[in-house]
Structure 1
């Protein structure tokens, strides 16, 4: 059996509404918001008595999703948001954008900070990393062709 698709990437945040607003400004659409709890959820995650608010954000093409999660119970146990780009584990999500400069201007108005520089890779891409809501590392790529 073949892999069908990547369904979503999950990111844990403290301010769910702020994260939703930031990713909406980036261009994602809010697909839905819910509270997940109960015995079945704990069996999936291994967190007994979990209660989590989620928001599912969808890319405009409908193919990619970002699941934003705010844990109410149990409490968050670690914080990797300010880890450098060479830290082990899942670190960032990269988005393709039409105009990197215009996108940066809009996201800076929402508190985003450029990590390094906007750089050009050959004649193919302009790329950068930013710190978004709560210090989340986000990549932006503008295809030049």
Structure 2
């Protein structure tokens, strides 16, 4: 028996806004769909489900992010999003090049840091960005050996 990570699903209110945020970070749209019908209702244990989906990924990884916007039923708000110590989905982590460039560009688009850019030992620089809908995204850039 084998197991591999296929994707992480994130329910969002504004699919295009969150999609564009991840595309700006370098991910690519790998697929889009609108799903509904008995199989969806049965799988989710909900009734009359209709949702829009956007799958994002990169060419150098099989793991993907699946954004899902419910048309019906009405999505429920998270208890407290954007805070690292809330139980539930904590964050999405992306390895990037030019961390400072990403942080600067995201700041121009209105997305700030949760804390500050920090150095972890001799391994990487990292930070938490608060994205659309208070989604936490950890960006990290490995430190190149000298």
TM-score relative to the length of structure 2: 0.92
Aligned to 1:93: 92
Structure 2 residue runs of 5 or longer lacking an equivalent are none
Question: Is contact 2:92-2:136 (8 Å) kept?
Answer: yes
SS of 2:92 mapped into structure 1: strand
Over residues 81-113 of structure 1, what are the superposed CA-to-partner deviations in whole Å (9 max), with x where a residue is unaligned? Answer: 634211111121110111210111222233211
Deviation of 1:38 (Å): 0.5
Deviation of 1:134 (Å): 1.5
Aligned structure 1 segments of 4 or more residues deviating by more than 4 angstroms: none
Question: Is contact 1:22-1:110 (8 Å) kept?
Answer: no
Question: Is contact 1:92-1:139 (8 Å) kept?
Answer: yes
> C-alpha separation between the residues in 1 aligned to 2:44 and 2:56?
20
Q: Is 2:3 the counterpart of 1:34? A: no
Aligned to 2:2: 2
Aligned to 2:103: 104
> C-alpha separation between the residues in 2 aligned to 1:141 and 1:80?
27
Question: Is contact 1:111-1:133 (8 Å) kept?
Answer: no
What is the 5 A alignment of 1:1-145?
1-3=1-3, 5-80=4-79, 82-145=81-144
> C-alpha separation between the residues in 1 aligned to 2:17 and 2:79?
18
TM-score relative to the length of structure 1: 0.93
**Residues 15 and 85 (structure 1), Cα distance of their counterparts in 2 relative to 1, 3 Å cut:** same
The Cα RMSD (Å) is 1.4
Structure 1 residue runs of 5 or longer lacking an equivalent are none
> C-alpha separation between the residues in 2 aligned to 1:7 and 1:140?
20
SS of 2:95 mapped into structure 1: strand
